[in-house]
A and B are shown apart, each in its own frame.
Chain A
């Protein structure tokens, strides 16, 4: 009996999610690229010495095109451009990930409080968020940065401030919809406590929108960091940062195209990769979306067989 049961044991949930993700090539490509970015961000310090490789100038070597020695060439100060692009990954990722983490934690807190208490507290919180949301995000960030000054830490604070309302809204509406589902009451009927219901039903069923929001936020942070860097409001020279590098490269863009190309590509690819990864993750986590894909394929297979047979 037990042996027989073993064979037909249910597939694990994590395994199901992983299998669905693996079947989506685009998501897998994005996942690999994102992991690569994270690897660079974590080990940039090991790969390069910040003082000697990244910011030390060497005027004789300036503006060399890409070569075996300098993969991405050198910039106007003779610094290795590959090292700078890679090191910029670290700075951008730190800002984007920490800001998104902060924004989502605050958002989950505020959003679930709002949904839980409802009534006047909810209304008050929502009106405050309305005010923050009504200010264009980039303007808000510029204001915060102007008040606090530039630099990585202040950028993170500015991003958290501008992203928290979005997260709160997503969490609030998802929780409000999810908890009305009858399966919540069904769990209560078999004796589940509030905590058990939150952990095993509400969270898994609310995670999809949250993941999409989080990856979108990371993309947005990457873009905003670059934008602010370009405007001279973000990360300060001589630190490497993709937007700042674009603005420094502007003078030479007609002759040294690679100076624009590499940071530009880095911005676009990383922003797109996070966005698509979020979409793929959400689809993989929802059994209903997984099932759709499987069914669709089997219909095609049936048709093919019908045509052949």
Chain B
């Protein structure tokens, strides 16, 4: 029996700017099951980070609802301390997200100290060394400073900081995009091991489909603030319906020789501006299948079991 951990209802975040209103997150509905991973994919600037930060209340959403185990995260009377412990985030850039003046030990100790989670120094040390072991940081690194470590180790510190309070849900905001490919795999494996062991749920944000392919159970594709397609991983890779998803998949390198010669439909043109978008499909300007009717407002429609897509021509063009 799947257990709904997090539900996002109609989440909206607009940034008013001098040039107009940026629709960073536009009426997003998503859900994450306990112990599972939801991949969120989309090109940079489509609002992935904003979405992740809204969930943790690091950015105040314009409107919408976020329910964590049924509790409204954004409500004034929400238990902020408890939610901070149960919902965590791993940042994209392991260079700027760690205070350069703190040692590894102190960086990992910060969440414990702030939330008074340890009754004694000894307990804190034990917790910190245990979590360092979990994320694969040698004990001797406890006194090191972040700049003395490579990107992979730094990101392990980020993982340790997120994990040390034993959260049930972690937003991973492109945690491996700043790393070398060889180290990416290490960190991804670490995160999957942790999930298996501790049963945390992830929202795994990335612009790279090949990364979420390993780690996700289901995938949501975002384009200019909107979710354009969502499906279980296998279904999405086998049966992509939205032209944007298809284009993303076409850009992923494949090892399978029989699929090498498939037709590649790469996207043309520039990203449309997220400022005051027109009604209708936001992919219209770049879509190879665009028709006049695409300029009318679109809705997410179910096209299969757990498979939703925001495209009026989905059935015609799907595979």
- Give, as a whole number of angstroms, the nearest-CB distance from A95 to chain B: 33
A185 to B88, CA, bound (A): 12
Given contacts A188-B58, A190-B111, contact A11 B143 (CB under 8 A): yes
B56 CB within 8 Å of chain A: yes
Looking at the complex, which one of A11, A189, A190, A205 makes contact with B101 (CB distance below 8 Å)?
Answer: A205
Report yes or no: A189 in contact with B58, Cβ–Cβ below 8 A: yes
Report yes or no: A9 in contact with B147, Cβ–Cβ below 8 A: no
Report yes or no: B105 in contact with A10, Cβ–Cβ below 8 A: yes
Looking at the complex, which one of A13, A185, A191 makes contact with B80 (CB distance below 8 Å)?
Answer: A191
Contact with B along A18-47 (1 / 0, CB 8 A): 000000000000000000000000000000
Report yes or no: B110 in contact with A192, Cβ–Cβ below 8 A: yes
Report yes or no: B140 in contact with A8, Cβ–Cβ below 8 A: yes
A182 CB within 8 Å of chain B: yes
Report yes or no: A181 in contact with B143, Cβ–Cβ below 8 A: no
Q: Kindly specify which of B89-97, B203-211, B235-243, B272-280 makes contact with the partner chain.
A: B89-97
Report yes or no: A190 in contact with B125, Cβ–Cβ below 8 A: no
In the bound complex, residues from chain A placing their C-beta under 8 Å from that of B85 are 191
In the bound complex, residues from chain B placing their C-beta under 8 Å from that of A288 are 100, 145, 147
In the bound complex, residues from chain A placing their C-beta under 8 Å from that of B299 are none
* SS of B interface (majority): helix
A186 to B90, CA, bound (A): 8
Report yes or no: A1 in contact with B126, Cβ–Cβ below 8 A: yes
- Give, as a whole number of angstroms, the nearest-CB distance from B173 to chain A: 10
Looking at the complex, which one of A1, A5, A190, A287 makes contact with B145 (CB distance below 8 Å)?
Answer: A287
Report yes or no: B96 in contact with A2, Cβ–Cβ below 8 A: no
Contact with A along B164-200 (1 / 0, CB 8 A): 0100000000000000000000000000000000000
A291 CB within 8 Å of chain B: yes
B99 CB within 8 Å of chain A: yes
A286 CB within 8 Å of chain B: yes
Interface residues of A in 174-205 (CB under 8 A from B): 181-183, 185-192, 196, 200-201, 204-205
Residue of B at shortest CB range from A17? B101
B76 CB within 8 Å of chain A: no
A13 to B103, CA, bound (A): 8
Report yes or no: B91 in contact with A186, Cβ–Cβ below 8 A: yes
A1 to B130, CA, bound (A): 10
Report yes or no: B89 in contact with A196, Cβ–Cβ below 8 A: no
- Give, as a whole number of angstroms, the nearest-CB distance from B162 to chain A: 8
Contact with A along B85-126 (1 / 0, CB 8 A): 100110101001111111111100011001100000010011
Given contacts A9-B125, A182-B91, A186-B161, contact A291 B147 (CB under 8 A): yes
Given contacts A10-B104, A190-B115, contact A183 B96 (CB under 8 A): yes
Report yes or no: A11 in contact with B58, Cβ–Cβ below 8 A: no
How many A-B pairs with Cβ below 8 Å? 100
Report yes or no: A191 in contact with B129, Cβ–Cβ below 8 A: no
Given contacts A182-B93, A190-B84, contact A8 B139 (CB under 8 A): yes
- Give, as a whole number of angstroms, the nearest-CB distance from A44 to chain B: 38
- Give, as a whole number of angstroms, the nearest-CB distance from A57 to chain B: 55
Report yes or no: A10 in contact with B106, Cβ–Cβ below 8 A: yes
B259 CB within 8 Å of chain A: no
A198 to B266, CA, bound (A): 47
Report yes or no: A204 in contact with B101, Cβ–Cβ below 8 A: yes
B148 CB within 8 Å of chain A: yes
Report yes or no: A287 in contact with B100, Cβ–Cβ below 8 A: yes
Report yes or no: A189 in contact with B56, Cβ–Cβ below 8 A: yes
Given contacts A2-B126, A189-B84, contact A8 B142 (CB under 8 A): yes
A206 to B164, CA, bound (A): 28
B262 CB within 8 Å of chain A: no
In the bound complex, residues from chain A placing their C-beta under 8 Å from that of B80 are 191
What residues of chain A have their CB less than 8 Å away from a CB belonging to chain B?
1-2, 4-6, 8-11, 13, 181-183, 185-192, 196, 200-201, 204-205, 285-288, 291
What residues of chain B have their CB less than 8 Å away from a CB belonging to chain A?
53, 56, 58, 80-81, 84-85, 88-89, 91, 93, 96-106, 110-111, 114-115, 122, 125-126, 129, 139-140, 142-143, 145, 147-148, 158, 161, 165
Other than the given A13-B101, A204-B99, A204-B101, 20 more pairs (CB < 8 A) read: A2-B122, A2-B125, A6-B125, A8-B140, A8-B143, A9-B125, A9-B143, A10-B104, A11-B143, A13-B102, A189-B89, A190-B114, A190-B161, A190-B165, A191-B85, A200-B110, A205-B100, A205-B101, A286-B100, A286-B101
Can you show 20 pairs from A to B with CB atoms below 8 A apart?
A: A4-B139, A5-B125, A181-B96, A185-B58, A185-B97, A186-B89, A186-B91, A187-B110, A190-B84, A190-B110, A191-B85, A191-B114, A200-B110, A204-B101, A205-B99, A287-B100, A287-B101, A287-B147, A291-B147, A291-B148
